A = this chain, B = another copy of it.
Amino acid sequence: MIWVDGIATPTLPADDRGLQYGDGLFETMRVVTGRVPLLERHLARLNAGCGRLALPAPEPAALRSEIAAACAGHNDAVLKLVVTRGSGGRGYRAPPGPRTRRVVSLYPRREWQCEPVSASIRARTCLTRLAIGGPLVGLKHLNRLEQVLARSEWQDDTIAEGLMLDAEGMIVAGTMTNLFLVIDGALQTPALDRCGVAGIARSMVLELAAELDLQVAQRRITVSALGDADEIFVCNSVVGVRPLSELDGRALATAPLTARVRAALSSRGLAA
Contacts and interface: CB of A to CB of B under 8 A. Distances in A.
A54 interface: yes
Contacts of A27: none
Interface stretch (A8-16, A62-70, A200-208): A8-16
B145 A142 contact: yes
A167 B19 contact: no
Interface residues on A, range: 35 or more
A132 B135 contact: no
A195 to B, nearest CB: 7
A166 B130 contact: no
A2 B82 CA distance: 22
A136 interface: yes
A19 B21 contact: no
A152 B94 contact: yes
A128 B9 CA distance: 36
Copies in the complex: 2
Interface stretch (A85-93, A117-125, A221-229, A248-256): A85-93
Interface of A: 2, 4, 9-23, 26, 53-54, 80, 82, 84-85, 90-94, 103, 105, 110, 128-136, 141-152, 166-168, 175-176, 195
A91 B151 contact: yes
B135 A21 contact: no
Q: By DSSP majority rule, is chain A's interface helix, strand, loop, or mixed?
A: mixed
Contact of A134 (B2, B11, B130, B148): B130
B132 A53 contact: no
A19 B131 CA distance: 21
A166 B133 contact: yes
Given A20-B82, A21-B145, A132 B129 contact: no
Contacts of A14: 2, 4, 9-12, 103, 105
A2 B167 CA distance: 37
B149 A145 contact: no
